Chain A
């Protein structure tokens, strides 16, 4: 019988690449990857924390978002992921908009965001539903499965899965522990 062991903290199997949607310098000493779902309440909650992390470590951190839509639980998970992909160079603008009104996510709202970003709505709608865009989302998911993504959001810090709690203190502490910047995490906003 072949025995397969499962590592305690899985490592990212798909390394960061130019294909990724990223913020911050490619050679930044802190590498943070998130697999997420725009309709997941925990992703929505952690979105604010990630923004705070990025502000605190500005210039020293590279953040990558990869899609992991749990579409059988969240009906708008896949359309939103595909909308973000279809936005192309405006990915991060769409990313912010998708997180801005999480309770009102529907196709009309997504297309309204596309209009706000200057897209022709019909062209955007077709692109969003295209096989090529779907394949990009699936590729993100496949890499996530291989890397041990087990919920959303799943974070990887310096290439290793963050298994701590999903909150501000835990994420800052884990980044400090992994990257050793010597910073004191900032106080929580009032």
Chain B
């Protein structure tokens, strides 16, 4: 399958999705958890990615880390989610100086990724997928990228801008 075929298929999936974001709780650190519904009141950006320390993931998360203030301007919270465990996330976050939480979808493996329909069963990892959820908990934008392609930030920022104007 070509990359174009994959993208066309993904866009069809994207257009058919419309639902309240499933609530979940995941570890954000070895002794700390993060619950989606507890952050209601502000936009959320969920970034599912295949694995800590993989090259494309590094670029993608490094980019978001660099432009965190762009998300903050929209009062948005950004979290990364993969099937790696909390200690692995800690090592990765320290290595990359990441300043946003990485959630461990490792037990049961891929539980939340499956809930959001972005678990790659044959590979045992999450898709490279992004969900923008509004302050009330409604998914307003979803994008599943070809797994080897860094989707950048433009789509996320456009989605956040459509929710509410950014502060200066």
Assess the B151–A6 pair: CB atoms within 8 A.
Answer: yes
Selected from B63, B65, B141, B159, the residue in CB contact (under 8 A) with A151 is B63
User: Nearest Cβ in chain A — how far from B81, in angstroms?
Assistant: 19
Q: How many residues of A contact B (CB 8 A)?
A: 22
A73 within 8 A of B: yes
With A4-B158, A4-B159, A72-B99 as contacts: A150 and B151 at CB distance below 8 Å: yes
Which of these binds chain A: B10-18, B34-42, B83-91? B10-18
Please measure, in the bound complex, the distance between the C-alpha atom of A150 and the C-alpha atom of B153, giving whole angstroms.
Answer: 7
A51 within 8 A of B: no
With A1-B18, A1-B138, A4-B141 as contacts: A150 and B158 at CB distance below 8 Å: no
Chain B stretch 105-164: residues in CB contact (< 8 A) with chain A: 138-141, 143, 145, 149-155, 157-159, 162
Assess the A73–B138 pair: CB atoms within 8 A.
Answer: no
Measured CB to CB, the nearest residue on chain A to B141 is A4
A5 within 8 A of B: yes
Measured CB to CB, the nearest residue on chain B to A37 is B66
Please measure, in the bound complex, the distance between the C-alpha atom of A148 and the C-alpha atom of B155, giving whole angstroms.
Answer: 8
Please measure, in the bound complex, the distance between the C-alpha atom of A183 and the C-alpha atom of B18, giving whole angstroms.
Answer: 50
Assess the A150–B162 pair: CB atoms within 8 A.
Answer: no
Please measure, in the bound complex, the distance between the C-alpha atom of A141 and the C-alpha atom of B67, giving whole angstroms.
Answer: 9
B77 within 8 A of A: no
Assess the A10–B154 pair: CB atoms within 8 A.
Answer: yes
Please measure, in the bound complex, the distance between the C-alpha atom of A71 and the C-alpha atom of B68, giving whole angstroms.
Answer: 12
Assess the B162–A145 pair: CB atoms within 8 A.
Answer: no
With A1-B18, A150-B63 as contacts: A6 and B70 at CB distance below 8 Å: no
Measured CB to CB, the nearest residue on chain B to A149 is B152
9 additional A-B pairs beyond A4-B141, A70-B66, A72-B66, beta carbons within 8 Å, are A4-B159, A6-B143, A73-B96, A145-B70, A145-B152, A145-B154, A150-B149, A151-B59, A163-B149
6 A–B contacts, CB within 8 A, in A order: A3-B15, A4-B158, A8-B3, A73-B97, A145-B153, A147-B154
B residues with CB within 8 A of A: 3-4, 7, 11, 14-15, 17-18, 59-60, 62-63, 65-67, 70, 96-97, 99, 138-141, 143, 145, 149-155, 157-159, 162
The 8 closest A-B pairs by CB, nearest first: A150-B152, A150-B150, A151-B59, A6-B155, A148-B152, A1-B18, A72-B97, A148-B154
